[in-house]
Amino acid sequence: MPELPEVETIARRLRPSFIGRKLLDTWTNWPRMLSPGPVAMRRALSGRRLIELTRRGKLLVWRFEPEVLLLVHLRMSGHPTECPSGTPPAKHVHFVLRFEGGRELHLDDARKFARVRLADDLAAATADLGIEPLSSEFTVDWLYEAMRRRARRLKPALLDQSLIAGLGNIYTDESLHRAGLHPLRSTASLRRPEAARLHQAIRQALHEGIRRNGASIDWVYPGGEMQDHFLVYGRAGERCGVCGTLIRRLVVGQRGTHVCPRCQRPPRRG
């Protein structure tokens, strides 16, 4: 699933082609992905000009004027591509935005998990999302207090989108390794210096992911190079670049997880 760096990369890549252009029409062959349905969405968007393309968590946020928002959640396999007008939708393209100036946005989604919805207030529409980890509000103090507020394993806590928006399996594993923290550690056991390390690690991992245009693995955004610089994610059986220990794969909260057993000491039992 595309995470914060991949979605940010996609937004930055699409902005120059679509900002300032008027939307002419929409198309879908999979109405279930749209809320409201295709007719209502076409009526709401046709003739409006795109004035902003941003991100909130893992959502792409298209802002049109007069004020209306189009929120696109790419889920597992969604991938938006710019195409010339009149391009026939490919096999797995299920939603198209047709703009003036000969440009179209094709949403390719082989697994049909992506969702597209309208909103008129971003704060209300994303009230279920937590803090942005690259925002000024995301401080060491905030992270320390948030982690200790409720006892659970570190990795599931970081994956909780209602707590921190945008982290997924990749950047959680990478952040925990950078911080030297085991994913099975209890959040209640986190000391403030460890929270400071984790805070720095999260920001570093996300900034590097954005700088490298995200990761290109499985269904994640193609064109990035972050996958060539992973410290632990997807590297089970390989040597840790820090200490040389073999990286292990385990399951935490039903999610495949990659750790260095030396750099990330497991919590004591008992």
- What positions carry a catalytic annotation? 2-3, 58, 255
Q: DSSP states of the chain as a string?
A: ---HHHHHHHHHHHHHHHTTPBEEEEEES-GGGEES-HHHHHHHHTTPEEEEEEEETTEEEEEEETTEEEEEE-TTTEEEEEEETTPPPPTTEEEEEEETTTEEEEEEETT---EEEEES-HHHHTTT--B-TTSTT--HHHHHHHHHHS--BHHHHHH-TTTBSS--HHHHHHHHHHHT--TTSBGGG--HHHHHHHHHHHHHHHHHHHHTT---STTS-TT--GGGG-SSTT-TTSBPTTT-PBPEEEEETTEEEEE-TTTSPPPPP-
